[in-house]
Amino acid sequence: MSALELQSLLPLIILALGATGVLMLGAWYPSRNWILGGVLITLLAAFSAGLIDPAVPEVANLYSAGSYARFFVVLWSILGALTLLLSLRYTEIHDLPGSEYTALVLFAICGMGLLSSATSLVGLFLGLEAFTLVFYILIAFKRDDSYGAEAGLKYLVMGAVATGFLAFGISLIYAASGSFHLPEAFAGLQQAGGMRTLGLAGWAFMLVAIGFKVSLVPFHLWTPDVYQGAPAPVSGLLATGSKGAVFASLVPLFTALGPLKADLEVILWALAALSMLAGTFAALPQRNLKRMLAYSSVVHMGYLMIGLLVGGPEAHRALLFYVIAYVVATLGAFGVLTSFSRVDDEPQEYGDFRGLGYLHPRRSSVLSACLLSLAGIPPLVGFFAKFGIIAAALKGGYPGLAIIAILAALASLYYYLSPIVVLFMQQRDARELRRGGRYEFIVLALCFAAILLFGIYPSPLLEVLTGILP
Amino acid sequence: MNLSALTGFPLLSLVLWLPFLGTLLCLVFRHSALACRWLALLTTLTVLILVAWLFVGLPAESGWLLKEDYAWIPSFGIRYSLALDGISLLMVALTALLQVAAVLISWKQKQHPALFYALVLILETGIIGVFLATDLILFYLFWELMLIPMLFLIGVWGHGNRVYAALKFFFFTLAGSLCLLLSIISLYLIHGEQTGVYSFAFETLMQTQLSSGVEMLLYVGFLLAFVVKVPLFPFHTWLPDAHTEAPAAGSVDLAGLLLKTGIYGLIRFAFPLFPSAAQQSLPFLAVLALIGIFYAAWIAYAQTDIKRVVAYSSVAHMGFVILGLAAWNQLAWEGALLLMVNHGVTTGGLFILIAMLQDRTGSRDLRVLGGMWKTLPFFSAFFLLFCLASLGLPGLSNFAGEILVLLGAFSRWPLLAALAAAGVVFSAAYMLRVVQGVLWGPLGQMCKIGEDDCLHEDLDRREWLLLIPLAMLVIWLGIYPAPVLEPMSGPISLLLQSGGLP
């Protein structure tokens, strides 16, 4: 690997080395301030990704250093910084070790960055596994919490199976086409021939693995338990970054797929429709905010599948916009949950929030805004996200999916409004929850501002996305 | 000042965003109920003065009187474009007036006053936006913006079964809105494929060539959103719950303004965009309107809660408005729009009076109330006036609208118009029952439960201030509706002739 290639990979190297450094030094000097150090490292990575021009466009035929990859490295680095800021008080009251936590989050961010920049199937595998492994630990980070242990185990078993599928699928595709590198890996599969079937079988295996990772129906069953059991900031990172990064890597993958996509159309259609419908029905009766968000994320993944299915620059732009809208709002929701958490427990049942809107008006408003944005109510960012996806579906000739999407959006209002009703329209009998910390408020204010600003004036973001799309 | 000197000044944006500014200020000064109250009053009064100035200053022409147009989201072809013609001017004026009334009637709001006034003000922005927007997505945005404040107004400050009523209102409207969104996007894509120009501008989309099947399908999407809001029978079931459980200001806004946005959407967007589908749907609309008139009157007669009676009377009145629109001629449309304004004023006034009554006696139940004339004569006089106006007594406001609607409808559907005329008698029946139950008869419940000694004052200064202008308007609109008919007759004839733009 040449120096030029290393320079092009600099942001990810900063993250990886930073994580290692924090882990090592933390062993000698245990302190919770390492979390702030982690924030600095992520910001450094974000700046270096945004400001330093890469010397070569592609590193070792594995990872791209193009503007698309760089955009997501910046995005996930900022997400990492926000997650760490959120965790500052959380790790303190739950007495979690600061340096290990920081190092793991940094590794996860590095993995997401790698995944989003992958230009070969091996790069994709490495990136995906890099952060999945970290999440096994992070989810069960509260050692004496039985829910956490259950969640960690569940994620481990499901994740291991998915990894197996992914590796096997990639090897089949390699066997069929003779290349891991993205355009070439599919080029061999275009003509009908002996190896084409093998390649398609490989694709089926890969789709199963992807389905597990982003929790598409019918591979979603782990989601609610893991969200519920994991520490709130980790759930936030899991719900936003890990899913967003997978979709960010799928966009170039599906672009490279070319006409081969026609063979997958039925499967993708079914995955999208099933995720939207089953996710909606499962979310409706939930009375636990984390579980509700888990099922609602399944619905959102269904929306994103529409973007993949339709394909083309406009649909992909709509998809990426949706990813960002989803990430911002979901992070905000989990951020509020984090800031409410107390020493002994983490309020997540609706009953815990009764009448809280007048006791903690700012955080309750942010939570409501996040939920309404997820539901797609204008003028919040979720509206233009849904708008783009539905327009793409209609334009791409999938009116059935557009109608399912509209119906799911209507039904989603029920489960998104339930917490808001509990917060603002019920009599208060809830104890006062924890007063929020300064850093938590910064994160929540940023999320709120993003939800509102991108909702009212999405043009700059749309232009950036148009610019980075390959 | 001369209005023509101000062509470059974004007057429409000022009217639109002023209440929103009030919302922000209310949230800033949220710890002082007094400040919020005065802020809300000042904001709504400023808007009212601005709109009144526009009303007097603008000529009664048929085209757009004021326009604003800026690029907003170029990649989707969405523009920030507002425009005002005679019809929207009238609607904005009604909005500005009723919002002042809504603030005044909630003057003693004790529970979370800052949030309350903030929501009332942002609701005003949403409603005015609906009446001004000419870009379909901008319109949709404001259309949805009305929902959230109303949800909170009913859900937080409502009576009794308020959360149920709030959610029911929300879901009915949202279901319609999403049909509208689907239709809007489809229309946009069809137009884009035909011409290569992707735009949500209403005037551009008018040019779209549609096959009759597609046109009908898209029209139904628009129609569903608007008739749910109006509400036309059989989509009205959310209305009695929402009106009854809402706080006074919420009821005034719902009945006076939100219902009008549905009618406005029909005449501004649904009819002009899909003229031939609209023509085909007219008999159907007329029959539903007629059923609504009788059905609502029948149900209203059986109610014991005064607010429910007035709520159902709204359904009946909206039936008249739709009947007028379905007649599709100048006279009927003028009557329909006039009736919209009249209904806003009279029903708004009635809800205000009911709020005052409930404030004093703690009840809205016809079975326990009675004998108010003896104890609260001034209040009772106003109550009688508004009830008579609502039932369509000649010389008071509703009569003028109803008679025009009936005359216009008679020339097109003689039988339906004749039947509808009988509906007026029905409305007299249930309104007089309210008058009799509240004002006359033996003295009923006078005190809230738990209060023993309550010597009630008659109207106080704030209440006089609130009721006198509304009462004068009721009489004025009944005797001399020309100033209201004048600005809208030009736009109406344009809409009818071209099925299109002013």
Rounded Cα gap, residues B198 and B189, in angstroms: 7
Question: Which residues in chain B touch residue A395, judged by CB atoms under 8 angstroms apart?
Answer: 189
Amino acid letter, residue A65:
A
Q: Give the domain ranges of chain B.
A: 1-273, 277-496
A395, closest residue in chain B (CA to CA)? B189
Three-class secondary structure of residue A4 per DSSP: helix
Distances (CA, A) of B146 to A87, A236, B250, B258: 37, 31, 12, 8
Output the pLDDT for position B448: 66
Look at B73 and A372 and tell me if their CB atoms are within 8 Å: no
Distance from CA of A319 to the nearest CA of B (A): 15
Distance from CA of B73 to the nearest CA of A (A): 5
Question: Between B74, B163, B175, which is nearest A421 by CB?
Answer: B163
Amino acid letter, residue A35:
I
Output the pLDDT for position B501: 41
Any chain A CB within 8 A of the CB of B379?
Answer: no
DSSP secondary structure, B217-280, as one string: HHHHHHHHHHHHHTTPTTS-THHHHHHHHS-HHHHHHIIIIIHHHHHHHIIIIIHHHSHHHHHH
> Does pLDDT of B465 surpass 70?
yes
pLDDT digits (tens, 9 = 90+) for A102-144: 999 999 999 999 999 998 899 999 999 998 999 998 998 888 8
- Name the phi and psi angles at A52, rounded to 5: -90, 125
- Name the phi and psi angles at A257, rounded to 5: -65, -35
pLDDT digits (tens, 9 = 90+) for B388-408: 888 888 888 888 888 889 998
Which residues are A254's β-sheet partners?
none
Look at B185 and A394 and tell me if their CB atoms are within 8 Å: yes
pLDDT digits (tens, 9 = 90+) for B325-373: 888 888 888 899 999 999 999 999 999 999 888 888 878 888 888 778 8
Look at A409 and B178 and tell me if their CB atoms are within 8 Å: yes
> Does pLDDT of A264 surpass 50?
yes
Three-class secondary structure of residue B68 per DSSP: strand
pLDDT digits (tens, 9 = 90+) for B135-153: 999 999 999 998 889 999 8
Any chain A CB within 8 A of the CB of B75?
Answer: yes
Let me know how long chain A is: 470
Chain A interface test: which of B79, B169, B186 (most A C-beta within 10 Å): B186
Q: How far is residue A270 CA from its own chain's centroid? A: 22
Any chain A CB within 8 A of the CB of B384?
Answer: no
Rounded Cα gap, residues A134 and A142, in angstroms: 14
A355, closest residue in chain B (CA to CA)? B156
- Run of H or E residues at A176: helix A146-177
- Run of H or E residues at B83: strand B78-84
Under the phi-then-psi rule, with left for phi > 0, alpha for psi from -120 to 50, and beta for the rest, what region is B450? Answer: left
Which residues are B70's β-sheet partners?
B80
Q: How much of chain B exceeds pLDDT 70, in percent?
A: 95
Task: Tally A–B CB contacts below 8 A.
Answer: 76
CB proximity list for A222: less than 8 A, separation 6 or greater: A154, A155, A158, A212, A215
Which residues are B84's β-sheet partners?
B66
Rounded Cα gap, residues A424 and A350, in angstroms: 12
Any chain B CB within 8 A of the CB of A355?
Answer: no
Any chain B CB within 8 A of the CB of A391?
Answer: yes
Question: Which residues in chain A touch residue B170, judged by CB atoms under 8 angstroms apart?
Answer: 413, 417
Look at A390 and B188 and tell me if their CB atoms are within 8 Å: no
Look at B170 and A413 and tell me if their CB atoms are within 8 Å: yes
Output the pLDDT for position B449: 64
Nearest to B304 by CA among B379, B353, B385, B370: B370
Question: Between B73, B156, B167, which is nearest A458 by CB?
Answer: B73
Output the pLDDT for position A430: 59
Nearest to B117 by CA among B100, B142, B96, B92: B100
3-state secondary structure A411-453: HHHHHHHHHHHHHHHCCCCCCCCCCCCHHHHHHHHHHHHHHHH
Question: Which residues in chain B touch residue A387, judged by CB atoms under 8 angstroms apart?
Answer: 76, 137, 181, 185
Question: Which residues in chain A touch residue B76, judged by CB atoms under 8 angstroms apart?
Answer: 384, 387-388, 391, 462
Output the pLDDT for position B500: 44
Rounded Cα gap, residues B261 and B259, in angstroms: 5
Which residues are A320's β-sheet partners?
none
Confidence category of residue A3, pLDDT binned at 50, 70, 90? confident
Distance from CA of A430 to the nearest CA of B (A): 17
Output the pLDDT for position B257: 87
pLDDT digits (tens, 9 = 90+) for A413-441: 999 999 998 888 887 775 667 777 888 89
Rounded Cα gap, residues B189 and B203, in angstroms: 15
The two structure tokens encoding residue B37: 């109250």
Confidence category of residue A186, pLDDT binned at 50, 70, 90? confident
Q: Name the least confident of A153-167, A173-187, A227-241, B72-86.
A: A173-187
Question: Between B75, B144, B167, which is nearest A378 by CB?
Answer: B144
Three-class secondary structure of residue A225 per DSSP: helix
Look at A387 and B181 and tell me if their CB atoms are within 8 Å: yes
Question: Is the Cβ–Cβ distance between A257 and A389 less than 8 Å?
Answer: no
Q: How far is residue B148 CA from its own chain's centroid? A: 17
